[in-house]
Amino acid sequence: MAKNFTALALATFLSLPLIGCITTPQPQMATTETFRVDSDTYQSQGKSERIKTIVLHYTVSDNARSIKTLTTGQVSAHYLILDQGDDKIYNLVPESERAWHAGNSYFAGRTILNDTSIGIEIVNAGIAQQYRGALKSGELDYHPYEHFVTFDDLQIKKVAQLVQDITRRYGISPKNIVGHSDIAPSRKIDPGAKFPWQQLYEQYDIGAWYDEADKKYFIRQIAMTTPTIAQIKQAFREYGYQINTTNAWDKPSRDVIYAFQLHFRPLNPTGQMDVETYAILKALNKKYAGRDNFY
């Protein structure tokens, strides 16, 4: 008892000058025109990481042209994954700086995603050469799965390692690992229907994916009701997509459907709303309910 009391008294005595020093600093008169930044005395609790999102892209060109474009032009990315059998992932822009990869963009309440994202470019041709004219000729509204070029397995392994590392370091939420098309649906279709989102989720726990049982449940439920366009668009907004408020599936709205399908129903991306697409969207909203805070 006596020993404890002594120890306590000693601790109190020892801590007194320290407390006095830290909590009540005496203002000192400035004696110079160069002021000192004090990072130690006061610390805020309210803070979070600046990086919130990872955006995946394909480059639509080969290794040499991708390197040239991303290192000498006005577009850039934090990381570049070439299509060659080496063990490298190239870091082109420090993570603490902005890379210019996202352009005019929106996701989950945030705009100008260059400010808050890490961009990863993967060398891939995108749409195979022989299909590139299909939209221009008016033959098709949107490219089907078969038009996209497959990614190399080694590239996907590199993407997996890199995304896992970035996600861990910044605490990025699954929904915020997105494709360029998710954040700019009327301008972009990369990383396309052959980017293996489901494989990354299942093998590496990367990104968001729906539960099959939920999808089946919602397919049955939707069949018994008739959701309005407004309700479906609201579900897109709930997930994070930007979509207009017209009461029609106009081109900008269909672009969002297509972007969603590229990501979550890649074998059959049509740009048309259907029961399965809406069921997947509902299943995702159920699983990933609640948004990140926007502080």
Residues that bind Zn ion (CB under 5 A): 57, 180, 190
Beta carbon nearer to Zn ion, 190 or 283: 190
Catalytic residue at 121? yes
Closest distance to Zn ion from the beta carbon of 134 (Å):
20
For 179, 193, 217, the CA distances from 198, given in Å and listed in that order, are 13, 11, 20
Q: Decide: residue 51, CB within 10 A, 0-12 exposed, 13-18 middle, 19+ buried.
A: buried
SS3 state at 195: coil
Beta carbon nearer to Zn ion, 180 or 233: 180
Alpha-helical (H) ranges within the chain are: 2-23, 63-72, 153-170, 180-183, 197-204, 212-224, 229-239, 251-264, 275-287
Closest distance to Zn ion from the beta carbon of 243 (Å):
20
Beta carbon nearer to Zn ion, 119 or 271: 119
Question: Which DSSP state fits 26?
Answer: P
Beta carbon nearer to Zn ion, 158 or 180: 180
Closest distance to Zn ion from the beta carbon of 179 (Å):
8
Active-site residue, selected from the candidate residues 97, 121, 139, 276? 121
Q: What are phi and psi of 34, to 5 degrees?
A: -105, 115
Closest distance to Zn ion from the beta carbon of 189 (Å):
9
DSSP-assigned states of every residue in 106-171? EETTEE-GGGTEEEEEE---SB-GGGTTTTTTTS-SS--GGGBPPPPHHHHHHHHHHHHHHHHHHT
> Is the Cβ–Cβ distance between 275 and 206 less than 8 Å?
no
Beta carbon nearer to Zn ion, 57 or 265: 57
Closest distance to Zn ion from the beta carbon of 56 (Å):
8
CA distance 183 to 241: 7
Catalytic residues: 121
